[in-house]
Structure formats: C-alpha cells, structure tokens
Amino acid sequence: MVMVAALEIRPSDGTRAALRAAGATYAARCYQCGTCSSVCELVTRDFTFPRRQMMLAQWGLGGSLARDPAVWLCHACSDCSTRCPRDAKPADVMQAARAVAVEGFAVPRLMGRIVSRAGATWPLLLGVPIASWALLVGLATGFAVAPHEVFAYERLVPHSLIYAVFFPVAAYVSLVGWISGRRFWSSLAGGERRRGAFLSALVPTLVDIILHRRFATCTTARSRRQGHLWLVLGFLGAAVTSGLLILAIYLMRAEMPLGLGHPFKLLGNLSAVFLAVGGWVLLRDRLAKRRHVGTTTAFDSFFLGVVVLVIATGIVVEAARFALDPRVAGWLYIVHLGAVMCLFLTTPYSKFAHILYRTLAMAHERMVASGRSVASRSETLDGSLAHPTH
C-alpha cells in the first residue's frame, strides 16, 4: 500500500443527517467486513465499493463521497444489501450519496434544494408548469376549438408555441447541466490522474449505459434492469420522435396530425409502449417493496411519479383525441405538457441527472482504470457538503 501524508479527518454531523434524510438510514450499523464489496459484480481488483463509502457515510465525510466516482459506478442492484450481515443496506447508502451529490453540484443550489425536498415541494414543481401552460394556451387560442372538426391538438396549442417554450427550456437545462457537469468533472480530477482523450472514453461508456451492460451483472434486481432499459430506450425514442416531428412540420410540411401509419407516428407510439412497460415494471417493484428496491425517498417517488404522469397523460391524450370531448382532451393535453415541462426543468436536479454524472464518472473511471494505486484515492477526508471547486 502506497504511503500518503497524514490525512485529516473532519467528520460532519450535518452530512450524516443529510445522508440519513436521503435514505442512508442504516449506514451506522456497518462494521466494515467488506461482504458488500466482495459480492458486488461491478468492482474491479483495485477499485472496490461500497464498503469504503459506508465508512465515509458513517463518518459523514460528504466531500469525499461527492468526489468519489464509485458512488456513480454503483447501479443500485442491491446485491450488497441482500448479503450485508448487519443489514446496513449499502445500496441505499450509495443511492443517498448520489442524491446528496446531485444537490451539491446543482446550479443554482436553490433548485437543487427544492427538488431534493420534493416531498414537500412537489405541488409547486408540478403545479407551476401546468398552470403556466394553461395560461399560455389561454392567451394563445383562448381554448377556442370548433367541435365539428376532426380534432387536432395543434389547433388548441400551436406547434410554434410548444417550440417557443421548450427550446429555451432545453437550452437552460443543457447550460445548467454543462456547468454542474464541469464542476463534477473537475472534482473527480482531484482523485486519480486521468489518461487519454475524453471522447475515446465517452463513446464506449455511452454504449455501456444504453445497453445497460453493467446492470446486466446484477443478480438481485434483474427486473429493475429490464424496466430501466425499457424506460431509457423509450425516452430516447420519444426524443428522436420529437426531433423528427420538427422535420415533418417545417421541412416536409407534412399534414398534422400524422396518420397512424406514418413511420414517425409508429416510432412515437413504439416509444410510448416502451415507456409504459418500463414505468410499470419499476412502479410494480416499488409498490411490491421488493427487498432490492431499498428505501424509497420522496425524491425517488417524485421522479418516478412525474415520469409515470408524463407517460400516462401522453398515452391518454393520444387516445382522447378520438374518444373524448375536445375540451376535456385539451385539458389533458395541457396537463401532459405541464408534466413534460416539469420533467425537463427538474432534469439537472432529479434522477435524470444521473445520466450526466454517471456518464462522466464512468468515463473518468475508464480513463484512470489503468495503473491505479489504491491509496491515492483519498487525499482529503472532509465533511463539507459544499461542492469542491479546485
């Protein structure tokens, strides 16, 4: 083991409390036997977790946790929690560490705090977007829909309006994500030295993520991997569809709404099916309180809730166009748009942010994996939650 200069330990009660609030309820029980690390299929010879992270959590060394890529390499498959001899639920602790890190890197911090406390703030988070859509639509078309026509939502909410709103939102999300990502990336650099080019690490990482390769090694939570995979593919499909629609509307000048047989339409619906299945699987696991699921915090529920709401309203809205009174359908559509906007706006602060941090952490890990020396992984151990800026 490489000798390193004496590190100073600065335990923090605050961090311990924050982690407990975020679901690390039983971290204190851990007696450092290492069963968790030895049963985790994701650890490599020189890069083990979550045993060490349990120690950091017990002592409230949040700063170190925030900088620890291991927190993001864990896929919460819960093999560790199943075997933990003290039932300290390491998977929950890693989950909590991620939540706390997302809040820590959030820009602005206020948004991070609001979303992390979704248990209390969810009416606001969901209500404001829906209300503002209702307002916008009111101003734009005043809900004037002629009943006799075959109903198209475009008549109620012009595409132009949708894009006028969602383009800036997307821009904001990307900007905020970029800043947080940068901070996270540089804090990771405080750990081990990276080798090689970022891109050459990013591409294989993305493939891993999309195909859930790491997830596949999990034994306890197979179903979760399935649900997760469906969901990610579904969202990808939805995103692609939205892009294609822009082509359809402004370049191809296609007649809206597209016929059900239209390839874009088919893709969209297929994505909807994927999302529905994925959402159902995850929801079922949560409700069934499967052991591997671990503790469900308000933060988790809110995120899952919004996702489910988006999917549900999306599907219902599509059907409603034919089945229901245009006014009712119209209101459903507005709720749907609100939910989507909520999902968009909270992305940098919710579990969606995992995509960002996990991708970076995995890329980082690829870049340092070669020639790692174990000791060099922990140069300061502090309890501060403030994101470390170097």
Partner 1 sequence: MEKMGVFLCTGCEIAEAVDVAGFEALCGENGAQRYATHPCLCSAEGLSAIRAAVEGGEIDGVLIAACSPRAKATEFAFDRTKVAVERVDLREQVAWSHEHGHEDTQMLAEDQLRMGLARLKRVKLVTPLVETIARTVLTVGGGRTGMQAALAAADLGSPVLLVETGTRLGGYLADVRYLVPERPPYDRIVPNDIREMAARVQAHPGITVHLSTGVERIDGQPGQFEVALRGPGGATTVKVGAIIQATGAAPYDAARLAGLGYGVSPNVITTLELEKMLNEGALQRPSDGKRPDRVAFVQCAGSRDEGHLPYCSSECCATSMKLAAAIHRDHGDVECAIVYRDLRAPGQLERFYKAVQEQPGSLFTRGVVTGVSGNGTGPLTLTVRESLLGDEVKLHADLVVLATGMVPRSADGEAIRAYVDAKRRAEHGDSEKVRKDAAALAEKLKDHAGTEILNLSYRQGPDLPVLQHGFPDSHYICFPYETRRTGIYAAGAVHSPMDAAQATEDAWGAAMKAVQCLAANSRGEAVHPRSGDLSIATFALQRCTQCKRCTEECPFGTINEDAKGTPEYNPLRCRRCGICLGACPERIISFPEYSIDAVASMIKAVEVPDADDEKPRILAFMCENDALPALEEAARRRLTWNAWMRIIPARCLGAVNTVWVADSLSTGFDGVLLLGCQKGDDYQCHYVKGSELAARRMSNVQETLDRLALEAERLQVVEVARDDWAKIPTIFAEFAKNIEDVGPNPYKGF
Partner 2 sequence: MSAATTKPLLAVGAGIAGITTALEAAEAGREVVLVEREPAIGGRVLRNHHYFPKLCPPSCGMEINTGRLIRNPRIRLMTATQVARAARTAGGWTVTLVRAPQYVNERCTFCGECSKVCPAKVKDAFNLGATEVPAIRPYHAQAYPQRYVLDRAACPTGCTACAAACSYGAIDLDARETQETLDAGAVVLATGWKPYPLDGLPELGGGRLADVIANVSMERMVAPAGPTGGKILRPSDGAVPKKVAFVQCAGSRDVNHLPYCSAVCCLASLKQAIYVREQLPETEVKIFYIDRRAPGRNEALLTRVAAMEGVRLVKGKVGKIEKGPGGSLSLRVEDVESGTLLAETADLVVLATGMVPQLGADAQSFGIRRDDDGFGLNDAAARVFVAGVARRPEDVASSVRDATGTAAKAIIAAGR
Q: Which is nearer to partner 2, 43 or 238 (CB)?
A: 43
Positive/negative CA dihedral, 25, 375, 106, 346: negative
Alpha carbons 88 and 295: distance in angstroms, whole number: 12
Residues whose CB is less than 8 angstroms from the CB of residue 387 and which lie 6 or more positions away in sequence, other chains included: 66, 104, 105, 183, 184, 187
**CA 285 from chain center: how many Å?**
18
Candidate ranges 36-44, 225-233, 269-277, 347-355; the one touching partner 2 (CB under 8 A): 36-44
Structure tokens at 243: 């892009």
Q: Which is nearer to partner 2, 46 or 255 (CB)?
A: 46
Query: Is 368 in contact with 193 (CB distance < 8 Å)?
Result: yes
Position 149 contacts partner 1 (CB under 8 A): no
Q: Minimum Å distance from CB 379 to partner 2?
A: 14
Alpha carbons 217 and 208: distance in angstroms, whole number: 12
**CA 296 from chain center: how many Å?**
15
Alpha carbons 34 and 52: distance in angstroms, whole number: 8
Position 33 contacts partner 1 (CB under 8 A): no
Residues of span 62-101 touching partner 1 by CB under 8 A: 86
The residue count of the chain comes to 390
The entry of partner 2, partner 1, none near residue 212 (CB within 5 to 8 angstroms by kind) is: none
The entry of partner 1, partner 2, none near residue 262 (CB within 5 to 8 angstroms by kind) is: none
Q: Which is nearer to partner 1, 131 or 375 (CB)?
A: 375
Alpha carbons 222 and 41: distance in angstroms, whole number: 13
Q: Minimum Å distance from CB 113 to partner 1?
A: 23
Residues of span 62-91 touching partner 2 by CB under 8 A: 83, 85-87
Q: Which is nearer to partner 1, 26 or 303 (CB)?
A: 26
Candidate ranges 56-64, 65-73, 140-148, 202-210; the one touching partner 1 (CB under 8 A): 56-64
Backbone angles phi, psi at 295, to 5 degrees: -75, 135
Q: Which is nearer to partner 2, 31 or 167 (CB)?
A: 31
Position 269 contacts partner 1 (CB under 8 A): no
The entry of partner 1, partner 2, none near residue 3 (CB within 5 to 8 angstroms by kind) is: partner 1
34 burial type by CB count under 10 A (0-12 exposed, 13-18 middle, 19+ buried): middle
**CA 53 from chain center: how many Å?**
21
Query: Is 53 in contact with 37 (CB distance < 8 Å)?
Result: no
Q: Minimum Å distance from CB 30 to partner 2?
A: 11
Q: Which is nearer to partner 1, 63 or 326 (CB)?
A: 63
For partner 1, the binding residues (CB under 8 A) are 1, 3-11, 13, 16, 26, 28-32, 52, 55-56, 58-59, 61, 86, 375, 378, 381
For partner 2, the binding residues (CB under 8 A) are 1, 31-39, 43-46, 48, 51-52, 83, 85-87, 374, 377
